[in-house]
């Protein structure tokens, strides 16, 4: 193992070791002080974030080309680590209030983040598979963390069964790709595929199966069926982390695999991706209209947003547009993650220990009783619609620019029209908060309030000065090629 190998996996190693040690340390922390575990987990994430940021600009491969460290992986890892931190902050008071405060929660979360980061760094389909399993298993457990609550157990089991099923697709696709090209290494796949020596049909089928597998993970239609049930049943803090983290990781893997390994079959893939994106946007947004439970509403919203991010993939075969479109995808992931965590933060603030407080009508009168919380929720809703002055608008504009640049006008029109549909149900939340009377009860926990307010402010402020994020996202992509 060379020094380069070591530095390539340094943040990963740090976080893994930290998680293992935390598992042991947690045994000695009394049950009444499990908050310490949370703080230690946050410290680990923050340290890893520091190392990751220090690696900005580094580009190298390690472990015989299995793992890659480049601008793309650094960007995604940093985003994942921030998501992890936000996930810990949201869980801190929530698990205590729900009576599910156990130290494993944070260890599992750390392992999951490790898996997600490994996904971003994977340069080999085998590593992709490994990362997929590493990120998924802790999530299966976390989804069922509120046992013996039946909904939570159901969510965990459902997520596990469908997750395992979808992983099967990834494995089978990997096998077919290996059969077609004789390698699982992304660089080698390109080398085999481009001269036309390989079996392109087999490669296409393999790529399509991998797409199906990840389609499950990112909740793209028609592989989305599990999403509302799992998001609703899982503890809200887990859902918040899962809906952002798993999506980021899944899209990172898709972006990496497709842009590096499969440009040669872009002709076949573009149509499929187009249809997936369009279907996901339409179905996610339309079904969300009928929801009356905030968790289900956000679940369908998360499906819809998977569709918007999928739009970034459609022009991936066009070398002029691909860098823009991938940068747009990354940027949108940041916008989505921030907004999503904030919105879930508000959900958590209103959720009661008994599982009440999750209906839309429970938000009535929030603007009078807790103006700051209602204003924050309004910012998140505007951001999810894509209205100024929020990051969601800037992200959507970036996405649409990539799609228009690629010449997919039809998809762009579907994208904006579904945004219009989404305005209806997001605004309904605002209507209920501001225009109906009620006596909502909220929980005030310092970390929760901090997270909600910080994400709300960031959503607005970064939208006004997005330069650094633009620059970072686009440089992250240039090094991918």
The binding site for another protein (CB under 8 A) comprises 324, 327, 367-368, 371, 382, 387-389, 393, 397, 400-401, 404-405, 409, 412-413, 416-417, 419-420, 423-424, 427, 431, 434-435, 466-467, 470-471, 473-474
Backbone φ and ψ for 102, nearest 5 degrees, come out as -135, 145
In this complex, which beta carbon is closest to another protein, that of residue 299 or of residue 393? 393
Q: How many Cβ atoms sit within 10 Å of the Cβ of residue 254?
A: 27
Least Cβ distance, residue 414 to another protein (angstroms) = 11
Measured from the CB atom, is 153 or 405 closer to another protein? Answer: 405
Alpha carbons 172 and 374: distance in angstroms, whole number: 47
Name which of 130 and 387 has its Cβ closer to another protein. 387
Least distance to another protein, CB of residue 305, Å: 16
Least Å from the CB of residue 458 to another protein: 17
For another protein, give the closer residue by CB, 165 or 409. 409
Q: Are 99 and 235 in contact (CB under 8 A)?
A: no
Torsion of CA 290, 295, 298, 300, to 10 degrees: -50
Instruction: Return the closest-CA partner of residue 308 out of 288, 343, 335.
Output: 335
Note whether 255 and 328 are within 8 A (CB). no
| DSSP annotation string for 299-364 | HHHHHHHHHHHHHTTGGGG-TTTHHHHHHHHHHHHHHHHHHHHHHHHHHHHH--TTS-S-BGGGGT
Smallest separation (angstroms) from another protein to the CB of 124:
29
Cα–Cα dist 63/55, whole Å? 17
Considering the complex, state which of residue 422 and residue 452 has its C-beta at the smaller distance from another protein: 422
Q: Which is nearer to another protein, 179 or 389 (CB)?
A: 389
Q: How many Å apart are CA 114 and CA 52, to the nearest integer?
A: 12
Q: How far is the CB of 339 from another protein (least distance, A)?
A: 16
Residue 398 or 447: the one with the smaller Cβ distance to another protein is 398
Residues near 362 by Cβ (< 8 Å), separated by ≥ 6? 294, 350, 356, 438, 440
Rounded Cα distance, 221 and 216, in Å: 8
CB of 467 to another protein, least distance (A): 5
Angle formed by the axes of helices 200-218 and 150-181, nearest 10°: 160
> How near is the Cβ of 369 to another protein at its closest, in Å?
12
Tokens of 463: 């939208």
Choose between 401 and 479: whose C-beta lies nearer to another protein.
Answer: 401
For another protein, the closer of residues 28 and 468 by Cβ is 468
CB of 49 to another protein, least distance (A): 23
What are residue 61's phi and psi, to 5 degrees?
Answer: -115, 155
Shortest distance in whole angstroms from residue 441 CB to another protein: 21
């Amino acid at each position: 193992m060379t020094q380069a190998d070591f530095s390539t996996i340094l943040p990963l190693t740090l976080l893994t070791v930290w998680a293992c040690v935390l598992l042991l340390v947690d045994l000695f922390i009394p049950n009444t002080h499990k908050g310490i575990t949370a703080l230690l987990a946050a410290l680990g994430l923050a340290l890893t974030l520091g190392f990751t940021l220090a690696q900005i600009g580094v580009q190298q491969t390690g472990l015989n080309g299995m793992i890659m460290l480049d601008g793309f992986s650094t960007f995604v890892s940093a985003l994942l680590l921030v998501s992890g931190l936000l996930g810990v902050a949201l869980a801190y008071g929530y698990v205590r209030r729900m009576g599910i405060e156990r130290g494993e929660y944070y260890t599992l979360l750390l392992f999951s983040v490790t898996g997600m980061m490994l996904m971003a760094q994977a340069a080999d389909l085998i590593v992709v598979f490994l990362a997929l399993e590493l990120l998924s298993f802790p999530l299966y457990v976390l989804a069922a963390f509120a046992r013996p609550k039946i909904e939570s157990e159901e969510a965990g089991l459902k997520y596990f069964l469908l997750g395992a099923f979808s992983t099967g697709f990834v494995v089978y696709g990997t096998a077919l790709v290996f059969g077609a090209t004789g390698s699982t290494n992304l660089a080698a796949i390109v080398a085999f595929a481009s001269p036309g020596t390989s079996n392109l049909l087999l490669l296409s089928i393999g790529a399509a199966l991998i797409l199906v597998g990840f389609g499950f993970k990112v909740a793209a239609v028609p592989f989305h069926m599990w999403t509302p049930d799992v998001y609703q049943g899982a503890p809200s803090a887990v859902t918040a982390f899962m809906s952002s983290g798993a999506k980021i990781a899944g899209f990172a893997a898709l972006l990496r695999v497709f842009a590096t390994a499969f440009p040669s079959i872009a002709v076949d893939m573009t149509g499929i991706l187009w249809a997936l994106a369009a279907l996901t946007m339409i179905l996610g947004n339309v079904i969300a209209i009928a929801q009356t439970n905030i968790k289900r509403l956000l679940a369908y919203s998360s499906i819809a947003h998977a569709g918007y991010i999928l739009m970034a993939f459609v022009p991936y075969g066009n070398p002029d547009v691909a860098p823009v479109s991938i940068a747009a995808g990354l940027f949108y992931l940041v916008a989505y993650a921030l907004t999503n965590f904030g919105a879930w933060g508000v959900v958590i603030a209103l959720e009661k220990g008994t599982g009440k407080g999750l209906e839309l009508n429970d938000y009535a009168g929030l603007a009078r009783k807790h103006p700051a919380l209602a204003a924050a929720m309004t910012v998140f809703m505007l951001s999810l619609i894509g209205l100024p002055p929020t990051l969601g608008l800037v992200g959507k504009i970036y996405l649409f620019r990539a799609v228009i640049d690629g010449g997919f006008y039809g998809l762009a029109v579907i994208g904006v029209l579904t945004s219009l549909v989404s305005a209806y149900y997001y605004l309904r939340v605002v209507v209920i908060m501001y225009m109906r009377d009620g006596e909502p009860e909220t929980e005030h926990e310092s970390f929760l309030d901090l997270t909600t307010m910080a994400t709300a402010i960031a959503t607005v402020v970064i939208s006004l000065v997005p330069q650094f994020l633009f620059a970072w996202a686009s440089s992250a992509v240039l090094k991918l090629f």
